[in-house]
Amino acid sequence: MKWIVRAAFGLEGLAAREMKRLGLKNVETMSVGGACFEGSMADAMRANLWIRTGDRVLLQMGRFRAETFDMLFEGVKALPWKEIFPHDAAFPVRAHCARSRLMSPSDCQKIVKKAVAQAMGGGWLPEDGSEYQIDVSIHSDVATVALDASGEALSRRGYRTWNGEAPLRESLAAALAMLARRGNEPLYDPCCGTGTILCEAAMIERDRAPGLFREFAMEKWTRIDPAIRQEAMDRYEAGRERPVDIAGSDIDGEAIELAKRHLHQARIGGVRLEARDLRDVRREGEGLFLCNPPYGERLGDAKSAAAVERALGEMARAHEGWRLCAFSGDPSFERNARMKAQKRRRLYNGRLECELMWF
Ligand SMILES: C[S@@+](CC[C@H](N)C(=O)[O-])C[C@H]1O[C@@H](n2cnc3c(N)ncnc32)[C@H](O)[C@@H]1O
């Protein structure tokens, strides 16, 4: 079976790298939207459990040209729905259209729904069984029809139930930790907010499957070998007491309380947190400061963001053995911090163009 792992723009390559590390076969980065692999239901379950930087795992049912509603209808109807769906399957449809002749998601949804119902034999369908979310994406007149094997987005690990003012998506925070941190070097986030970077870094270091404590849509489709979850649980148990040198602080005491709750909900111990202005941060030895400071567009105004950036520059210069990696959407970051990045990578925080900068 062919599976698609959707990933945010800029994270496709990282998701593909994770898939290869998992031993998945024929991994290819797609031109838009993610990467794909070939494998069994068990492989897809492992992808759901272990992929940190992707958004969803989908089973590709078919891919064909769809310039008209008729082409879409016939293409969808020809797919082997009866082989996959039980008679009582509930099959909601969501559609996404870009740069195509068919540009109305709601019309495409209706056509697809009708085509699948006909393929299932027509007549009344109870739709009161397990859910098979159909995902149709029409891009440059090519329709990709797939089933969502994840359910909720993979970034919803289940630990974040309270949001601060501008939290990072978990998949993006994991990507930042994967890109910036060298091995298990000491890590400190001086603007940690609700603690997403710290949670993700600790899970990576302790070899913990990010999806271990949540469920996936595909588990309702069929019986998945319990050994797959068990192996992830064994690795979690083996790593849970492993000491980590990960800590953080934030000027906002309420954000720190949220971060503590998130760590607790994520069942992550050993990460130190305190309320502190980054101007008062002092660290010994060597390590990595990794953070996502406020930037004018989303939090506070440009002036206060500039003051935080200036303070970050001073903090970095006062810590000779420590590197700074900052993730920001502020084009004036380097000027304000009075530092020049040695390396940079463009990434998106939602729709906002940002950069991860290495100093
Ligand atoms: C964009 S948010 C970080 C979000 C965080 N990555 C998360 O996932 O929740 C920026 C954070 O910087 C903090 N901050 C602003 N000025 C600060 C200062 N002078 N010292 C420490 N933290 C500061 C804010 O309180 C806010 O939580």
287-291 and 34-38: which strand pairing? unpaired
pLDDT of residue 31: 79
From the CA of 278, give the closest atom in ligand 1.
Answer: 20
Q: Is 359 exposed, middle or buried (0-12, 13-18, 19+ CB in 10 A)?
A: buried
- Residue 264 CA to ligand 1 center (angstroms) comes to 20
163, 170, 171, 250: residue to mutate for ligand 1 pocket, most atoms within 8 A of CB: 250
Where helices occur in the chain by DSSP H, the ranges are 12-21, 41-50, 69-77, 81-84, 105-119, 170-180, 196-205, 226-239, 253-265, 302-317, 333-337
pLDDT of residue 164: 61
Q: What is the amino acid identity at position 92? A: P
Ligand 1 atom 27: residue of nearest CA:
193
- pLDDT tens over the chain, length 359 residues: 999 999 999 999 999 999 999 999 999 999 778 999 999 999 999 999 999 999 999 999 999 999 999 999 999 999 999 999 999 999 999 999 999 999 999 999 999 999 999 999 988 889 999 999 999 999 999 999 999 999 999 999 999 876 766 779 999 999 999 999 999 999 999 999 999 999 999 999 999 999 999 999 999 999 999 999 999 999 999 999 899 999 999 999 999 999 999 999 999 999 999 999 999 999 999 999 999 999 876 555 788 899 999 999 999 999 999 999 999 999 999 999 999 999 999 999 988 999 999 99
- Residue 325 CA to ligand 1 center (angstroms) comes to 15
Long-range contacts, stretch 332-341, CB < 8 angstroms, 24+ apart: 332/306, 333/295, 333/309, 333/357, 336/305, 336/306, 336/309, 336/310, 337/309, 337/310, 337/312, 337/313, 338/310, 338/313, 339/313
Q: Is the CB of 199 under 6 A from ligand 1?
A: no
Q: Is the CB of 250 under 6 A from ligand 1?
A: yes
* Cβ atoms within 10 Å, residue 354: 23
Domains and CATH numbers, the chain: 2-148 (3.30.2130.30), 170-207+219-358 (3.40.50.150)
Give the DSSP letter string of 234-246: HHHHHHTT----E
pLDDT of residue 72: 98
- Residue 64 CA to ligand 1 center (angstroms) comes to 46
pLDDT of residue 300: 56
**Which has the closest alpha carbon to 248: 217, 226, 270?**
270
pLDDT of residue 165: 64
- Residue 84 CA to ligand 1 center (angstroms) comes to 47
Q: Is the CB of 120 under 6 A from ligand 1?
A: no
- Residue 318 CA to ligand 1 center (angstroms) comes to 20
- Residue 252 CA to ligand 1 center (angstroms) comes to 7
Q: Is the CB of 251 under 6 A from ligand 1?
A: yes
Q: What is the pLDDT of residues 254-267, one digit of tens each?
A: 999 999 999 999 99
- Residue 177 CA to ligand 1 center (angstroms) comes to 17
Q: What is the pLDDT of residues 162-185, one digit of tens each?
A: 676 677 999 999 999 999 999 999
Q: Is the CB of 193 under 6 A from ligand 1?
A: yes
Ligand 1 atom 13: residue of nearest CA:
191
Does the pTM surpass 0.85? The reply is yes
Only one residue has tokens 């009344």, namely 124
